[in-house]
Structure 1
């Protein structure tokens, strides 16, 4: 008789060990199922199958451990059980009513049909609502930690509750040692250590679990993952991004990024942080000047990281020394100190500011300085704000292109169609309502009429934010979180120089002329005035569209 124990298995507990040992030694006949009834099965367990769910996910709050780490822990844990144990990876398929059936079929495939689990030869061990999926298939289910019956009570904490308890206790310990409240980084010279005598944290964990977590620094790893405000539970920067659109855009502009940055790349160890789908590395790796270089792509978004690994497996990179890491470059170093000749980032730093805040951006800047060798360069290509961003300007916006006719968003099949139906001025009002609303930002404007023409008075940075986002109607929700104009080019240079960087004179800020020609002209006009209340057209002076992007070369 097989025992099937499905779960993510990031932690294994003493209670689980005792429960399994009792079943192995004393058999199944007296074991109570989820309804409180004895199984009355005379057979003894002959093997335990650990179905490791979300096996293809790791390095996130929901799934901190990789599959190989979980497998090693399970095998160590199983030594005392004295019957065979099998670790079967079950990849994530989201919320599915057929998940139990999928798991059983995956076990068959992974074992080449050697393990065919049925309701006649298998007992399921599960203490979560997943048990209901197996009950529907006719399996007997043992509740493990849960008290049998309808009452929601437990003999012991579930493994995930134990993990959250560890995080909470370590956070409290860190705050007691560091009144500022920040947790030690996983790459710190002095990470927080949990003393082996700390019964409050370790008493519930199986020794196999403790050994693995200590040997692989996993206590420190979950400190970082759970304290990170930049990424979500599944390790993505934003949950509102359409990745199909995003990937296509990354590939389309890869050549532009490559041509703009190529003259400044220094051979040796080359890192691309926020590498998306690896397009920049792919192009640089083809250049003979970098044939002897090693390339390291860093990507935190799970979906994009998986694409990078697939491209590598497909042989799309000319240089064989290409490696991809799924790590967070904000919370700590991703490369050893003084190890990188070139670090490249593109369209990343504004996202750190937007989703993580100023403190995380400053941490990111300092980490890049630490990672470079003397003479190394960080190439940062990103959007930038205008120098005089707090200045008030007067804005004319076209309104003749409207196809909306007063309809509300609910009258369209999707929000993109609604946005596309709006004129430039109408869409601005939607932008004013949505832009960084969750972050508490208020975009203030006032309308004036000069010679019968309507203008809107606002800060230069606000109209620049709108111009940069007004045409991204397929990713509107994501774009509304992102701030482009928080620093001007001079402010960028001053902040980097305060850390120790030298800014190369070849650095530049510029206006994307394609954007001006194709998306700004005819849609928006900017004016300035010496008068607080201009009342005739002569009071308004045309104002050029400000810079949109920068290429910043920060040398150590």
Structure 2
């Protein structure tokens, strides 16, 4: 079988000795075309290694094995039956090379992908799943998972080119951090159900308000916004003449939001040349050197660390990391939702039954147009659905058709989430009322921070007047009305000068 090119598609995060043996045996004088898929993804569980490091290992393997290679990046696309055709077109656009069944074969051991190339008329050569092999070798992903699990036998299975690149650029540590991260999902976000377009719009709309809230507490120098979203607050900081000599640093774990930050910077949205963005998860390890940051800002972040991590264990680790990278005299400014004082007290919550449908029972597993379904429920019926979808312990006792007994914290967790129907399946994964202000102060001082007197709780009266009061009311079990509790906290935490 004669061919001029061997197309070898794959993510190619790690190269194996078996792959090298296969290619040197099969390719002969043909050029190996490495189509590196998901080339625009990195630092996620599914794609932990950046493209340029993958390319470096491929080129090193090719030189060591005497292979003539072309390496072509293929950006990630939504699942499509045209994947093979798109990849071939990418190769042509990048290299001017038109691969056809007449001049190329494909090497692939993923049945679904192999079928797509076969459908285009290409001959497909099996790699790891060749039935002629006495036993199937480990695939590259399996070897990478050995590395992630701390199994040093990965070095015996990986090609020396990957071992070398991983060692020089400390990629083994990076892979272990991201693959074993308890917070970040496979694609680099906190939850697969989140509509990031909605979040970008919300970040932009609220940036001015957030900046006005924290501006007086910001200390010039190295200023970091962790969980910076699309960088909207840093745009406010960039416009401050008093901060023109400061470094403005954004840290974001969600790939969609980080990419928007990079795009903004490339488009000239920032005047300060010392604006930097990093795609990192602080829980995965230190992002900044000890005592190197003057001001850290976090907005609506800590409740996510609590919710998607191991609650207090993860939050304490995060607070300790902030303390560690803060200079003596530096400040951490944290603005987030907050549980009500006395969140464990039992209350009676009266909810409207006339503002929507009242099905006999909640849906066990929502699907389809979730927003339309939940949005069509009465407030009382929405509580029943919330209890099913909320992933934290949540209990209540019906007192009458429209009154339930539950803790004040659970009541506020429902009430502050009940109108988020567009992201219902995402919002019900988060707990807003895990900590009250006294808990926060105890945690901060325990780690070593001093809590500034400017720290305080607030209540969002717009939410009360427009979302809560029209359809709900709070009472003590004896029927005495209760005022609506606080919903947010601003925490100003300073590292003492003598530390």
TM-score, normalised with respect to structure 1 = 0.84
* In 2: Cα distance, 1:80 partner to 1:418 partner: 59
What displacement does 1:475 show? 0.9
Work out which of the residue numbers 83, 99, 102 in structure 2 matches 1:99: 83
Render the CA deviation track for 1:298-320: whole Å, top value 9, x for unaligned: 11111111111111112122322
* More off after superposition, 318-327 vs 494-503: 318-327
The 8 Å contact of residues 331 and 360 in structure 1, kept in 2 or not, is answered as no
SS at structure 1 position matched to 2:162: helix
* Partner of residue 426 from structure 2, selected from 478, 501, 511: 478
Q: Is the CA contact 1:146–1:154 (under 8 Å) kept in the aligned structure 2?
A: no
Aligned partners of 1:455 and 1:447: how far apart in 2?
5
Pair 1:167-2:148 in alignment: yes
Classify 1:407/1:525 alpha carbon distance in 2 versus 1 (closer, same or farther; 3 Å): closer
Which residue of 1 is the match for residue 9 of structure 2? 6
Equivalences, count: 489
Match for residue 373 of structure 2 among 418, 429, 433: 418
Is 2:447 the partner of 1:526? Answer: no
1:393-542 paired onto structure 2 within 5 Å: 393-402=347-356, 414-436=369-391, 439=392, 441-448=393-400, 455-529=403-477, 534=478, 540-542=479-481
CA distance in 1, matches of 2:428, 2:314: 20
Cα displacement (A) at 1:22? 2.2
Please give the residue correspondences for 1:232-247 in structure 2 after superposition, counting only pairs within 5 Å.
Answer: 232-247=185-200
Q: Give the Å deviation of 1:63.
A: 0.9
Cα deviation, 1:328-356, whole Å, max 9, x if unaligned, reads: 11121111111111111111110111111
d(CA) in 2 for partners of 1:154 and 1:108?
36
The offset of 1:268, in angstroms, is: 0.9
Equivalents in 2 of 1:412, 1:99: separation in Å? 27
TM superposition shift of 1:148: 4.0
Mapped partners of 1:232, 1:153: distance in 2: 37
* From 221, 230, 233, the counterpart of 2:174: 221
Which runs of 5 or more residues in structure 2 are unaligned? none
Give the CA deviation at 1:3.
Answer: 1.6
Separation in structure 1 between the aligned mates of residue 371 and residue 26 of structure 2, nearest angstrom = 57
Larger Rg: 1
> Is the partner of 2:223 in helix, strand or coil?
strand
Change (3 A) 1:524 1:92: same
1:134 aligns with 2:117: yes
Change in Cα spacing, 1:18 to 1:472, as seen in structure 2 (3 Å) is: same
C-alpha deviation, 1:407, in angstroms: 10
Following TM superposition, by how much is the alpha carbon of 1:408 offset from its aligned partner in structure 2, in angstroms?
Answer: 8.0
Give the counterpart of 1:248 among 201, 207, 210: 201
Residue 357 of structure 2 contacts residue 381 of structure 2 at CA under 8 Å; is this kept in 1?
no
C-alpha change, 1:153 and 1:508, in structure 2 (3 Å) is: farther
CA positional deviation for 1:554: 0.8
TM-fit CA distance, 1:231 = 1.2
Residues 387-409 of structure 1 show CA distances to partners (whole Å, capped at 9, x for unaligned) of: 21111112222223225687987
In 2, the alpha carbon distance for the partners of 1:307 and 1:259 equals: 23
Q: Once the two structures are superposed, what CA deviation does each residue of 1:204-247 show, in whole Å capped at 9, x if it has no partner?
A: 11111111111111111122122211111121111111122222
How does 1:80-95 map onto structure 2 within 5 Å?
A: 80-95=64-79
Q: SS in structure 1 opposite 2:454?
A: coil
Residue aligning to 1:21:
24
Work out the CA distance in 1 between the residues paired with 2:332 and 2:159: 45
SS of aligned partner of 1:469: coil
Contact 1:344 1:380 in 2 (8 A): yes
Q: In structure 2, what is the equivalent of residue 260 of structure 1?
A: 213
Structure 1 counterpart SS, 2:282: coil
Instruction: Give, in whole Å, the separation in 2 of the partners of 1:548 and 1:208.
Output: 54
SS at match of 1:401: coil
The offset of 1:543, in angstroms, is 1.1
Q: Is the 8 A contact 2:362 2:381 kept in 1?
A: no
Unaligned runs of 5+ in 1: 28-43, 171-193, 195-199, 535-539
Greater mean deviation of Cα atoms: 544-553 or 81-90: 81-90
Q: Do the aligned partners of 1:293 and 1:321 also contact (CA within 8 Å) in 2? A: yes
* Secondary structure of 1:552 counterpart: strand
Please say which of residues 327-336 and 270-279 is displaced more in the overlay: 327-336
User: What TM-score comes out, normalization by structure 2 length?
Assistant: 0.93
1: CA distance, partners of 2:366 / 2:140 = 47
Match of 1:178 in 2: none
Please give the residue correspondences for 1:313-352 in structure 2 after superposition, counting only pairs within 5 Å.
313-352=266-305
- Are residue 378 (structure 1) and residue 359 (structure 2) matched? no
